[in-house]
Amino acid sequence: MDFYRKVEQDGIPEFEKAIRTFKNWQTEVLNSFLLKWFFGEN
Protein backbone atom coordinates (compact mmCIF):
# COMPACT_ATOMS: atom_id res chain seq x y z
CA MET A 1 0.00 0.00 0.00
CA ASP A 2 1.13 3.54 -0.65
CA PHE A 3 0.28 4.49 2.94
CA TYR A 4 2.64 1.87 4.31
CA ARG A 5 5.48 2.99 2.04
CA LYS A 6 4.96 6.65 2.97
CA VAL A 7 5.10 5.88 6.69
CA GLU A 8 8.18 3.68 6.26
CA GLN A 9 9.95 6.42 4.29
CA ASP A 10 9.33 8.98 7.05
CA GLY A 11 11.66 6.97 9.29
CA ILE A 12 9.79 7.49 12.57
CA PRO A 13 10.49 4.36 14.65
CA GLU A 14 7.12 4.35 16.42
CA PHE A 15 5.27 4.55 13.10
CA GLU A 16 7.45 1.84 11.59
CA LYS A 17 6.54 -0.46 14.48
CA ALA A 18 2.85 0.38 14.06
CA ILE A 19 3.01 -0.39 10.33
CA ARG A 20 4.64 -3.78 11.03
CA THR A 21 1.79 -4.54 13.43
CA PHE A 22 -0.84 -3.43 10.91
CA LYS A 23 0.74 -5.59 8.20
CA ASN A 24 0.91 -8.62 10.50
CA TRP A 25 -2.75 -8.32 11.55
CA GLN A 26 -4.30 -6.74 8.43
CA THR A 27 -6.21 -9.84 7.33
CA GLU A 28 -7.64 -10.51 10.78
CA VAL A 29 -8.67 -6.89 11.32
CA LEU A 30 -10.37 -6.60 7.94
CA ASN A 31 -12.11 -9.96 8.44
CA SER A 32 -13.46 -8.80 11.80
CA PHE A 33 -15.20 -5.90 10.06
CA LEU A 34 -16.60 -8.17 7.35
CA LEU A 35 -17.92 -10.70 9.86
CA LYS A 36 -19.73 -7.98 11.82
CA TRP A 37 -21.26 -6.72 8.59
CA PHE A 38 -22.46 -10.19 7.55
CA PHE A 39 -23.52 -11.47 10.97
CA GLY A 40 -24.28 -8.26 12.84
CA GLU A 41 -22.90 -6.97 16.10
CA ASN A 42 -22.39 -9.57 18.82
SS3 for the chain is: CHHHHHHHHHCCHHHHHHHHHHHHHHHHHHHHHHHHHHHCCC
Q: What is the pLDDT of residue 40?
A: 59
Per-residue pLDDT of 1-42, as tens digits, reads 688 888 888 889 998 898 889 889 989 888 888 876 666 555
Contacts of 42 (CB under 8 A, 6+ apart): 36
Q: What is the pLDDT of residue 4?
A: 84
Q: What is the pLDDT of residue 14?
A: 92
